[in-house]
Amino acid sequence: MSNGKKMEKIDLLVTGVGGQGVVLASDIIGETALAAGFDVKKTDTLGMAQRGGSVVSHVRLAPKVWSPLIKDGSVDLILAFEKLEAARWSHFLRPGGITITNNYEQPPLSVSLGQEVYPTDDVIAAALRRQTDQVYFVDGTGRVKELGNVRTLNIFMLGCFSVFSPLEAATWRESITRRMPENIREINLTAFEMGRKEIESVRIGKS
């Protein structure tokens, strides 16, 4: 199993629920990759979904990128801020790809109304494992609650992703610093470091 650090290109899906900061996170990935010399394209498919709907960003880093949308079955890594959303996009994953999922459940209205059923953890994991063994769950929401600001979840998740990315930690910190207003800069940088540590411990736990 590769550790993913030597990738020359990454096709990435960042997904979650409207309001979780998916778009900002994928923006920061793009800016960090540009700073590291990659060609970058990113596109958000949200439609009207900023109102609590399902959100997915396609982010592509390579020496040269054509399509902004990633082809089905060729995503290298899914970074999911909510676990139903991880399962929803699992068919995009390439064989042997990586998934990092925030182990957090936000039930859609149809589930609250009893019309549909939220999938069990087993169902979600099985959907992700159709293509890969590299299925990682992190307790992002729990960790950032401990940190004292749930809105840093997206940067925590970026920390998790950064370990697999071909981009230096320092470059990540620079682009987070550039994007965050001063009053929340430090707490986001802390969330980023927490994410890095969290994914490392989850990976060690696995092997």
* Residues near other proteins, by CB under 8 A: 17-18, 27, 30-31, 34, 39-54, 65-73, 84-85, 87-88, 90-91, 93, 107-114, 116-119, 123, 127, 130-131, 150
Nearer to other proteins, 65 or 98 (CB): 65
| Whether 34 contacts 9, CB under 8 Å | no
Q: Work out how close the CB of 200 gets to other proteins at its nearest, in angstroms, rounded to a whole number.
A: 28
Nearer to other proteins, 27 or 198 (CB): 27
Structure tokens at 5: 């650090």
Burial tier of 25 (Cβ tally within 10 Å: 0-12, 13-18, 19+): buried
Q: Work out how close the CB of 207 gets to other proteins at its nearest, in angstroms, rounded to a whole number.
A: 26
Nearer to other proteins, 90 or 190 (CB): 90
Q: Work out how close the CB of 193 gets to other proteins at its nearest, in angstroms, rounded to a whole number.
A: 23
| Whether 45 contacts 203, CB under 8 Å | no
| Whether 169 contacts 85, CB under 8 Å | no
Element (H, E) at 133: none
Nearer to other proteins, 4 or 119 (CB): 119
Q: Work out how close the CB of 9 gets to other proteins at its nearest, in angstroms, rounded to a whole number.
A: 12
Element (H, E) at 162: helix 153-162
Nearer to other proteins, 135 or 199 (CB): 135
Q: Work out how close the CB of 205 gets to other proteins at its nearest, in angstroms, rounded to a whole number.
A: 25
CA distance 41 to 54: 21
Nearer to other proteins, 40 or 157 (CB): 40
Residue 4 CA to chain centroid, in angstroms?
A: 15
Q: Work out how close the CB of 93 gets to other proteins at its nearest, in angstroms, rounded to a whole number.
A: 8
User: How would you label 194-206 residue by residue, b for 16+ Cβ within 10 Å and e otherwise?
Assistant: bbbebbeeebeee
